[in-house]
Structure 1
Amino acid sequence: MSKLGTKDGFAAQKNAFGDSDKVVYVEGEDLKQLKQTLLGMLKDFMAVCAKHGLNYTLSGGSVLGTIRHQGFIPWDDDIDINMPRKDFNKLKEIFDQELGDDYKLLAPELTPGYGAAASRFIKKGTVYRTFNDVAEPRENCGICIDIFVLENTPDNAFLRSMHGYLCLAVGYLLSCRKVYDYLPKLLEIQDTPEVRAAFGKKYKIGRCFKFLSLDKVTRWTYKVYSAAKNDGSKYVTIPSGRKHYFGEMDTRQNMCQSQEGTFEGISVKIPYGIASYMNRLYGPDYMTPPPVAKRERHPLFEFSLGEDKD
């Protein structure tokens, strides 16, 4: 993998494991139940946000699903959320008290061994293990909602550029360092030229930095991403998003202010600057569903809706 980017990770995942008998896809009745589980998680999260005055919007494909399908994209099986840094910091403080009985919050600054730049909360007692989670303990691999933190940026254009490139560098280093840890686990599942080609370059770079623990690199990434402290900055960005710092950047008004949308019959918040956001992520034809061959699916190594749903 010669490029930076989460998008390349999705491509590697599809090419290396998409047709493997080692993976499963959630379909049929399981997919319906998974979506109901996610919808319940979203309702619980929204209730806590309303109670504590926390700002959030749906993110990425969940926004696209809201405006194009009024709910889940039919072939999709996840929900994503955007949350400004100051609100996410408040969420961390009250999460266990409000949601800790049923859910667990994973974040780069909170969770030892996590090795991811984005945060998420998982439903306890469930399992949803992707190739990114292959080396994670089972209790960290539940059905989840990803939380992408909207980070402040410097108002000075030069400093903003420097911050952006530094974010790209530490994010790539984190990705390489994690691949060094989990590629051996992937090869235990499927040792093929495709797997080695998909992850080989990052593994070699990660090996050069094996003297740095994964937790240390994760903490560096968090500190760099969240380095700008101006909660009134003109622009915000999502360094952990698939288009990274520069591709995810937009005005604070477009991303932190919201409008109402309908998702599976419930009222949700979506970004105010919807056209700008969707064009950046999906291009000008975002309202046109892609052909079947280009629809993103998530190959899993392990899946369980819970003890009472297996």
Structure 2
Amino acid sequence: MFKSKRYDDETLKHLQQVQMKIFKYFLEICEEHDLTYFMYAGSLLGTVRHEGFIPWDDDIDVIMFRDDFEKLNNILENNIDKKYRFFNVLNEETYHYSWGRITLKDTLFKEWWGNQVEYTPNIFLDIFILDNVPNNKYKWFVQKWKSFILNQLTIYSIIKYKNESKLKEIIQQSIYYLLKILPISPKTIKKKCVETFSKYQNEDCDRVCDFPSEFFMPVSYKTDWLPVKKAKFEGLDVNIPNNYDKILTMDFNNYMELPPEESRFNTAPKEIDFGEY
């Protein structure tokens, strides 16, 4: 798990091209059903700084408000192109992420945890979720920490971690084994996690949060996201947050400044296969 394998230029470019195929499918669905999304994380940075992929980036990230995500979820679970598969935290027993993912069948993107799940990890598009945050500080404190704990338990109920820190590894694996012997299923934990994330979905809240990333990305206001602005990503018109500068600054600080050259890479997966693509 600790050995870093870098992409060669040809493989990375090919991967980006395949991910664009998934992304275009996602955009078609959003346009057809009037769903709002935003470029997010490294993909938002790539849009603003490079008008496309960060040259060394190996995935595409988008984010949606919970209401739009649930509409997308319903569409894809009932009427998805047969070339693709849609994951959410509840529809696959061994899927350990609390956000959504559209994957391209007959491809392979096998990371270090790939042998611990019961499905084939394909090349994917990540779809993160913006959930409402209560205005009351006490309610927010409770939701924040409960969400953090349940998100971690969702992961540890499925994945046995190795860690460079032996102390962290002991803690993580102890939780993993404890959850295996307790009379509680991963699906039960996952349901509780989603309930906590979305607890204030139907309330009038000013702020939103991507809970799995909350400790890295602080809460933001809905007015930071809406109204949508347009920008270019690999020649396509895409949505970016209204106050993209604030969102990117929270995530990357001086985001227009390139990192040192030795840091301009992403770790490649253990195995990758593009199939017919």
TM-score by length of 2: 0.91
Question: What is the number of residues matched between the two proteins?
Answer: 275
2:260 is the counterpart of 1:291: yes
Deviation readout 1:246-298 (Å, 9 max, x if unpaired): 83310012135321010111110011111110111111x11111113333513
**Aligned residue number for residue 21 of structure 1:** none
Contact persistence 1:107–1:118 (CA under 8 A): yes
**Please, which moves more after superposition, 196-205 or 42-51?**
196-205
* Equivalent AA in structure 1 for residue 255 of structure 2: Y
Superimposed CA distance per residue, residues 105-159 of structure 1 (whole angstroms, 9 cap, x where no aligned partner)? 11112222212212211011111111244412343x1000111011112222221
Q: Please, what TM-score do these two structures have when normalized by structure 1? A: 0.81
| Partner AA of 1:205 in structure 2 | I
C-alpha spacing 1:169/1:194, structure 2 compared with 1 (3 Å): closer
Report the RMSD for the aligned CA atoms in angstroms.
2.2
Aligned-partner SS, 2:240: strand
In structure 2, what residue type is equivalent to 1:223?
A: E
Correspondence for 2:21 among 14, 31, 40: 40
Which residue of 211, 226, 231 corresponds with 1:239? 211
What is the match of residue 220 of structure 1? 192
Match of 1:208 in 2: 178
Work out which of the residue numbers 63, 81, 97 in structure 2 matches 1:116.
97
- Unaligned 5+ residue runs, structure 2? none
Write out aligned runs for 1:1-310 (5 A).
16-18=2-4, 24-139=5-120, 141-179=121-159, 182-183=160-161, 194=164, 199-210=169-180, 211=182, 212-230=184-202, 232-241=204-213, 243-244=214-215, 247-283=217-253, 285-306=254-275, 308-309=276-277
Counterpart-to-counterpart distance in 1, 2:234 and 2:208: 29
Would you tell me which structure has more helix in proportion to its own residues?
1
- Indicate conservation of the 8 Å contact 2:12/2:56, yes or no: no
Q: Cα–Cα, structure 1 residues 227 and 279, in superposed 2: closer, same or farther, change >3 Å?
A: same
CA distance in 2, matches of 1:196, 1:296: 26
Q: Could you tell me which amino acid in structure 1 is paired with residue 96 of structure 2?
A: G
Contact 1:86 1:231 in 2 (8 A): no
| SS of residue matched to 1:240 | helix
What is the alpha-carbon distance in structure 2 between the residues aligned to residue 32 and residue 252 of structure 1?
A: 35
Distance 1:114 1:264 in 2: 30
1:175 and 1:202 in contact (8 A); partners too? no
> How many angstroms apart in 2 are the aligned matches of 1:98 and 1:39?
21
Inter-partner Cα distance in structure 2 for 1:251 and 1:198: 34
Paired letter, 1:287? M
Percent identical residues: 25
Provide the rounded CA distance (Å) in 1 between the counterparts of 2:224 and 2:137. 19
Partner of 1:189: none
Distance 1:138 1:165 in 2: 30
* Mean Cα deviation higher: 153-162 or 33-42: 153-162
- Cα deviations across residues 18-69 of structure 1 (Å, max 9, x unaligned)? 2xxxxx5432222212111111211111111011010101110000001111
